[in-house]
A and B are shown apart, each in its own frame.
Chain A
Amino acid sequence: MYGFFVFPGKNDSEKEVGLMHIPDGFLDVKTWASTGVASAAVLGWGLKKTRKMLTDKQVPLLGAVSAFIFAAQMVNFPIAGGTSGHLLGGVLAAVLFGPWAAMIIMSVILVLQCFIFLDGGITALGANILNMAVIAPLGGYYVYIFLKRVLKGRAGETAAVFIASLFSVVLAAAAASLELAVSGMAPLGITLTAMLIWHSLIGVGEGLITAAVVKYLERMGIGAGASADFGIAGGESVEK
């Protein structure tokens, strides 16, 4: 760990990735400490759930999808107003492996981004995990499950993925706004407004990319867990 001190800091020619990775200095102690404790607790619970549902045969594909989400997160796309966003991937992971395994996938990515790539603060890691590895995949997955029941057919499935992905980004941005406001960075109302404007646009990108990738993977024979409910409704999960 101490070895990291010798590594270089931010480059002048910045390659921004971000999305909503909170850096060090934005959150006060009470906020980063409490989000840290909360995300550690939820992750422990997520690991337990994952242990019950994930099979060893799924592990290589889980690793590959994690790698894909990492790579896709590097590809910022421009949105309006000189701002950019990139895929978050929480709903993509949740649709393929269930929300509990998605928490683990997203946390692995966030931890590596923090310690290897200087993306997201070390003190903000708990908040970033809570927003992007817990709230986004879990919230998005519930919307996906609900919409899949309401909207029928293949078009319905695609619409469910699109809306759930958009929602997941907006939800995570709202959580980040709350943490920033509680830390006294800016009043909640204006922080929330600004964050939600940008992230609903980014969310449209999230929805389009996730829907396209889910379709593409389906054609490769990598199912969207359509028959599995990952224990959400208390039933049995993925085919073993």
Chain B
Amino acid sequence: MKNKAVAVIVLALVVAALLSPWASSNPDGLEKTAEDLGFAEAAVEMLGAPIPDYVFPGIENERTAVAVAGITGTLLTFAVAVGIGKLVTGRNLNKQ
């Protein structure tokens, strides 16, 4: 199971580093709908974020900035999901 996890995380990192910088920047389905129906301007921003819009701050080259943001997010998602998974299954073991 561990080896398979490593293989999948490598796959995830490849996608984040090599594919995400080349993603389409066309508006997505909801944005397009909001624009067409005239409520796109209703969007507001309540909080900032460390890596806004998947562009890692302080990196000149935008594709590199997106790749670094993608790698960061991929590793962060892995860490948080494993942490929560451990919490959930840990309690499971205690109960039995």
Q: Contacts A20-B30, A51-B91, A194-B36; is A84 near B24 (CB within 8 Å)?
A: yes
A61 to B47, Cβ gap below 8 A? no
Q: List chain B residues, Cβ under 8 A from A67.
A: 8-9, 12-13, 74-75, 77-78, 81
Interface string of B72-96 (1 = CB under 8 A from A): 0111111111101110111111010
Residue of A6, A16, A81, A117 contacting most chain B CB atoms (<10 Å): A117
Cβ–Cβ contact B85 & A15, under 8 A? no
User: Among the listed stretches A33-41, A136-144, A185-193, A229-237, which one makes contact with chain B, having 4 or more residues with CB under 8 Å of it?
Assistant: A185-193
Taking CB atoms, residues of chain B closer than 8 Å to A70 are 12, 16, 73-74, 77
Residue contact B49 to A13, C-beta cutoff 8 Å: no
Known contacts: A54-B85, A76-B23. The answer to whether A6 contacts B70 by CB under 8 A is: no
Contact A20 B28 (CB under 8 A): yes
The CA of A13 and the CA of B86, in the complex, are separated in Å by 38
User: Would you give the shortest CB distance from B65 to chain A, in whole angstroms?
Assistant: 8
Q: Quick check: B29 and A195 within 8 Å, CB to CB? A: yes
Q: Check A47 for interface membership: any CB of B closer than 8 A.
A: yes
Q: From B75, which residue of chain A is reached at the shortest CB distance?
A: A67
Question: Given known contacts A13-B55, A59-B89, A83-B26, is B46 in contact with A123 (CB within 8 Å)?
Answer: yes
Which of the residues A64, A118, A194, A199 comes within 8 Å of B52, measured between beta carbons? A118
Shortest beta-carbon distance from B32 to chain A in Å: 5
Distance between Cα atoms of A68 and B17 in the complex (Å): 12
A121 interfacial contact with B, CB 8 Å = yes
B77 surroundings in chain A (CB, below 8 A): 63, 66-67, 69-70, 108-109, 112
Q: Is B28 touching A47 in the complex (CB atoms < 8 A)?
A: no
Roughly how many angstroms separate A221 CA and B5 CA in the complex, as a whole number? 11
The residues of B that contact A173 with a CB separation of less than 8 Å are 29-30
Q: How far is the CA of A221 from the CA of B48 in the complex (A)?
A: 41
CB <8 Å contact, B53 and A11: yes
Partner of B29, one of A23, A65, A85, A221: A85
What are 30 residue pairs bridging A and B, where the CB atoms are less than 8 Å apart in the complex?
A: A4-B47, A4-B48, A16-B53, A23-B44, A24-B45, A26-B34, A50-B88, A51-B95, A59-B86, A60-B82, A64-B5, A67-B81, A70-B16, A70-B77, A71-B13, A71-B19, A74-B16, A75-B15, A77-B24, A78-B24, A81-B32, A104-B81, A108-B81, A116-B76, A122-B46, A173-B30, A194-B32, A198-B32, A198-B33, A199-B29
Q: A66-B80, A74-B73 are in contact. List 20 more A-B contacts (CB 8 A).
A: A9-B48, A15-B54, A15-B66, A16-B28, A18-B29, A24-B44, A63-B77, A64-B78, A65-B8, A71-B70, A71-B74, A82-B26, A83-B28, A116-B49, A116-B76, A117-B49, A191-B37, A202-B28, A220-B4, A220-B8
